Amino acid sequence: MSKPLSDHDRKKQISVRGLAGVENVAELKLAFNRHLHFTLVKDRNVASKRDYYFALANTVRDHLVGRWIRTQQYYYEKDPKRVYYISLEFYMGRTLQNTMVNLALENACDEAVYQLGLDMEELEDMEEDAGLGNGGLGRLAACFLDSMASLGLAAYGYGIRYEFGIFNQKIVNGWQVEEADDWLRYGNPWEKARPEYMRPVRFYGRTEHTPDGVKWVDTQVVLALPYDTPIPGYRNNIVNTMRLWSAKAPCDFNLKDFNVGGYIQAVLDRNLCENISRVLYPNDNFFEGKELRLKQEYFVVAATLQDIVRRFKASKFGSREIVRTDFAYLPNKVAIQLNDTHPAMAIPELMRVLVDEEKLDWDKAWDVCVRTCAYTNHTVLPEALERWPIDLFQHLLPRHLEIIFEINRRFLQVRTCGQFPGDNDRLRRMSLIEEGGCKKVNMAHLCIVGSHAVNGVARIHSEILIATLFKDFYELDPHKFQNKTNGITPRRWLVMCNPGLAEVIAERIGEEFVRDLDQLKKLLKFINDDAFIRDIAKIKQENKLKFAVHLEEHYKVKINPQSMFDFQVKRIHEYKRQLLNCLHMITYYNRIKKEPNKHWTPRTIMVGGKAAPGYHTAKMIIRLITAIGEVVNHDPVIGDRLKIIFLENYRVTLAEKAIPSADLSEQISTAGTEASGTGNMKFMLNGALTIGTMDGANVEMAEEAGEKNLFIFGMRVEDVDAMDAGKGYHASEYYNRIPELKQAMDQIAGGFFSHKQPDLFKELVDLLMHHDRFKVFADYEAYIKCQDKVNELYKNPKEWTKMVIHNIAGCGKFSSDRTISQYAREIWGVEPSLEKIPAPDDR
Active site members: 378, 570-571, 576, 678, 682
Query: Under 8 Å CB-to-CB from 251, ≥6 apart: which residues?
Result: none
- Chain-centre distance of CA 694, in angstroms? 21
Q: Where are the alpha helices (DSSP H) in 47-162?
A: 49-78, 96-102, 106-115, 120-124, 136-150
φ/ψ of residue 642, rounded to 5: -145, 125
Half-sphere exposure of 141 (CA within 13 A, CB side): 30
Residue 170 Cα distances to 167, 175, 572, angstroms: 9, 8, 15
Q: Write the DSSP assignment of 398-425 as a string of letters.
A: HHHHHHHHHHHHHIIIIIIHHHSTT-HH
345: CB partners within 8 A, 6+ apart: 297, 298, 301, 302, 397, 400
Q: If you write DSSP's letter for every residue of 498-560 in order, what string do you get?
A: -HHHHHHHHHHH-SGGGT-GGGGGGGGGGTT-HHHHHHHHHHHHHHHHHHHHHHHHHH-----
At 367, which amino acid appears?
Answer: D
List, edge to edge, every strand of the sheet that includes 664-667. 642-647, 603-608, 564-569, 664-667, 689-692, 711-712
Looking at residue 450, its amino acid is G
Radius of gyration for the alpha carbons in the chain, expressed in angstroms and rounded: 27
What single letter denotes the amino acid at residue 417?
C
Measured CA angle at 432 (ends 426, 437), to 5 deg = 90
How far apart, in whole angstroms, are the C-alpha atoms of residue 283 and residue 276? 17
CB 564 within 8 A of CB 795: no
Give, in order, the Cα–Cα distances in Å from 471 to each of 218, 441, 464, 776. 42, 19, 9, 28
- List b or e across 525-539, with b for residues whose CB sees 16 or more CB atoms inside 10 angstroms: ebeeeeebbebbbeb
Measured CA angle at 1 (ends 5, 494), to 5 deg: 45
Q: Using DSSP, state whether 211 is helix, strand or coil.
A: coil
* Maximum separation of any 2 CA atoms in the chain, in Å: 89
Q: How many C-beta neighbours within 10 Å does residue 593 have? A: 13
Helical segments of 361-480, H only: 362-372, 390-396, 398-410, 417-419, 424-430, 443-449, 459-467, 471-476
Q: How far apart are CA 303 and CA 305, in angstroms?
A: 6
Nearest to 644 by CA among 759, 567, 574, 750: 567
Interatomic CA distance for residues 760 and 528, integer angstroms: 52
Give me the torsion for CA of 307, 311, 316, 321, rounded to 10°: -70
Rounded to whole angstroms, the Cα distance separating 698 from 287 reads 26
